[in-house]
Structure 1
Amino acid sequence: MKLIIRTFIYCLFCVSCSKTDIELTTYSFETDENVTFMFQDDENIEYLTSADRIYEISQLIRVKPIDNYTIEIANFAPFDFEDITITTTVAGIETPIKLLQIDKIKAHAVHVISYPFTNGTSKFLNIDNKEVNLSQYRETGISPNDVTFDFTGEGEIFDKLKDLEKLKWTVKYHDFDPDNNPDNNWAEDMSALDVRRYTGLMINLGVVFASDTFKDAFLKEHIVGNDGTTVLTLQEKETIYQNLLNKPRFNCGRSVNVSGLGGGATFGVANHVLRDYITKETGFVTAHEIGHMIGYNHNSNMTYPHKIDDKNTGFSTVTSRIMNVFFENDWYPVTLENYYTPTDF
């Protein structure tokens, strides 16, 4: 019996050692020599608003296969990330695999690399720390149709961002005035400054709406439907809240002459909102336009507040209130302290 136990312990030790011998290939993307940067002032509007710059709010580190052998890694946050693990799920392999480690990736940085298994190790660990051999892909690579990616990390910034995984938002920056018509309410050209600011606004909006703090407050709020009188039930408010989380698309532009424009997939806010959100609540405008996006008109207090017993009620009211809670508790991921070009404000 003692021999069996000793043998078992020895085997465990050997397995443990073999696993610790498998080290992830590590990268650092932080200099002009090994990265390019998105949303810079010399970038033309066609590229600023191109499909290549579409991303999911839950995937601020977007990993995209270019072909069977190379991937693009892009940071859509306006702050640096450190100590990230990129995981991949490959068709036919059930458990996600730890693919590579990133020591640091600068704000809005983009870099293209070869898959680590094409010119390095073929041994990896999955997220259960079990060995996976990818040598079968060394020559053929992996079809872009057969692979997806995610990222993980630990620390304060990841704690602040974790609720973004609840959101289905896909974000695109959009030129709503391609003909530069001065008679409408859209900026004639989106600028790189607009987009840089917007990347932070969308993150901070997302964490507010995805938070349990906001959800609890919204479900308790007095909400009136599109007829201006019918008070919505708890079940109806739960449906609204789920529609907010599941909104599939935000086409983001900058409005002029008015503070905001919204409806369908259109989300526009004025320069003062893009300038101010990092230091003060902007719920009156942002929630109003998102209220339109999820189907509510000006009769409903999902847009403009309604007064009940001399107190404002509605979507924008509760949004403003919870935004202030986030400021008071330092819960926002994007701040003047970590935003990479604070002169934008």
Structure 2
Amino acid sequence: MKKAILSALFVGALFFSCSKDDSENVATVEYSFDTDANSGLMFKDGDAVATMTSEAMRFDIGKVLRVKAINETTIEVANFAPVDIEDATILVTIEGQPKPIKLFKIKKIRAHGVKEIKYPFVEKTTNFFDTENAEVSLSQYRTTGIATTKVTFDFTGETELIQKLKLAAKLKWKVKPHDFDPTHDPNNNWKDNVTAADFRRYIGFIINNAYLMQTEEAKNAFLEEPIYGNDGVTLMTLEEKKVAFQKFIDITNINGGVVVNVSGLGGGATFGVANHVLHDYLTKDPCFITIHEMGHMIGYNHDSSMTYPKKIDNVDRGATVAIGKIYTQLLKSDAFPIKVKNYYMPSDLLL
């Protein structure tokens, strides 16, 4: 296969190129969103809290590289992960098309990078491959575009990071940074004046927790652990634990915030943790707090060892203990997608 660079040019401040693929009819469009010249940044220091916590900032945990339709001809590409992502392929599913289509490739998108672009079929090629490498023409949409209600997007790739990020697609979590104290009430346990650094760290924290909870190791440790139900005296059956673990997976909306005076607050869609948790999660097991609060989110109280461990044969047992051991193992094996060495803002790790 002969591969030749057909073009490499600037349109405004956006860098892209087209390269010949396996067919003479298909030229794959490639973009880079890795500098101030070709992309913006989310969660910048000084960004308005209202901007960072708007509903538009909610993202699917399995699609941290999010693409959404702005209008019929324009899409937004946003990397919600606090790490750079390279060699990603953006897929579009169009109503009426039998297979997802490989829309374009991203050579690199920087951590929290964001950019609006025109669909490639509007300004560049109209010939693409679907996910089974059959050629597809999108020329019918060149002038009209596609209604926003008729498209959905995903991403894929072969890098280790992308493979790990995509494992979170098993979960239903939709995450939004949240300000629980917009009036700065001194009588509650929510942080006043939450910052971009808080949300940068929180997003890395929630991505790693999603990676933890999708592992078979975490599930098996939970199912094998003796866990008391809400009465505090009756051990849950295996079937009850299976139902409970699935509830962790099936959590839908997560409004993430930062607490003070306590280590965490959780219940319903609320999942808040203290800054010491956000400081330590890349090097220490936070499950005593995180699984405790998630336990509240799925309906368990403080009598249950879903939240606080209980002694059995003079040994602490419960959900936080069992899953915490897996978190520690994943840290030791350097398995998490977000790490000290790839987190893009080292100064955040000192806060």
| Same fold per superposition (TM over 0.5) | yes
Amino acid at match of 2:112: H
Q: Which residue of 2 aligns with 1:325?
A: 329
How far, CA to CA, are the matches of 2:87 and 2:134 in structure 1? 21
The question of 1:89 aligning with 2:89 is answered no
Partner of 2:27, secondary structure, is coil
How far, CA to CA, are the matches of 2:24 and 2:66 in structure 1? 28
Amino acid at match of 2:257: G
Q: Which residue of 2 aligns with 1:12?
A: none
Unaligned residue ranges in structure 1 (runs of 5+): 1-16
Q: Which residue of 2 aligns with 1:296?
A: 300
Amino acid at match of 2:278: L
Q: Which residue of 1 aligns with 2:74?
A: 70
Q: Which residue of 1 aligns with 2:179?
A: 175
Structure with bigger gyration radius:
1
The question of 1:286 aligning with 2:307 is answered no
Deviation at 1:121, TM superposition (A): 1.1
Q: Which residue of 1 aligns with 2:29?
A: 25
Q: Say whether the 8 Å CA contact 2:89–2:157 is kept in structure 1.
A: yes
How far, CA to CA, are the matches of 1:123 and 1:141 in structure 2? 15
Q: Which residue of 2 aligns with 1:259?
A: 263
Q: Which residue of 2 aligns with 1:272?
A: 276
**Alignment of structure 1 residues 119-198 onto 2, 5 Å:** 119-198=123-202
Q: Say whether the 8 Å CA contact 1:19–1:129 is kept in structure 2.
A: no
How far, CA to CA, are the matches of 1:210 and 1:124 in structure 2? 33
Deviation at 1:20, TM superposition (A): 5.7
Partner of 1:32, secondary structure, is coil
Deviation at 1:161, TM superposition (A): 2.4
Q: Deviations over 1:135-175 (max 9, x none)?
A: 00011100000000000011221232232010000001111
Identity of aligned residues (%): 50
Structure 1 moving runs of 4+ over 3 Å: none
How far, CA to CA, are the matches of 1:119 and 1:287 in structure 2? 48
Q: Deviations over 1:195-235 (max 9, x none)?
A: 00011000110010110110111110101110001111111
Amino acid at match of 2:277: V
How far, CA to CA, are the matches of 1:78 and 1:181 in structure 2? 30
Q: Deviations over 1:101-137 (max 9, x none)?
A: 1000000000000000011111111000001110000
How far, CA to CA, are the matches of 2:231 and 2:76 in structure 1? 48
Amino acid at match of 1:330: D
Partner of 1:295, secondary structure, is coil
Greater percentage in helix: 1
Q: Which residue of 2 aligns with 1:236?
A: 240
Partner of 2:332, secondary structure, is helix
Q: Say whether the 8 Å CA contact 1:117–1:135 is kept in structure 2.
A: yes
Deviation at 1:19, TM superposition (A): 2.5
The question of 1:34 aligning with 2:27 is answered no
Partner of 1:291, secondary structure, is helix
Partner of 1:24, secondary structure, is strand
How far, CA to CA, are the matches of 1:284 and 1:138 in structure 2? 53
Amino acid at match of 1:216: N
Deviation at 1:23, TM superposition (A): 2.4
Q: Say whether the 8 Å CA contact 2:25–2:127 is kept in structure 1.
A: no
Greater percentage in strand: 2
Amino acid at match of 1:159: Q
How far, CA to CA, are the matches of 2:152 and 2:197 in structure 1? 31
The number of residue pairs the alignment matches comes to: 329
Partner of 2:283, secondary structure, is coil
Amino acid at match of 1:304: Y
How far, CA to CA, are the matches of 1:151 and 1:162 in structure 2? 8
Q: 1:292 to 1:18 in 2, by over 3 A?
A: closer
**Alignment TM-score, normalising by the size of structure 1:** 0.94
Q: Say whether the 8 Å CA contact 1:226–1:296 is kept in structure 2.
A: yes
**Alignment TM-score, normalising by the size of structure 2:** 0.92
**Alignment of structure 1 residues 200-239 onto 2, 5 Å:** 200-239=204-243
Q: Which residue of 2 aligns with 1:115?
A: 119
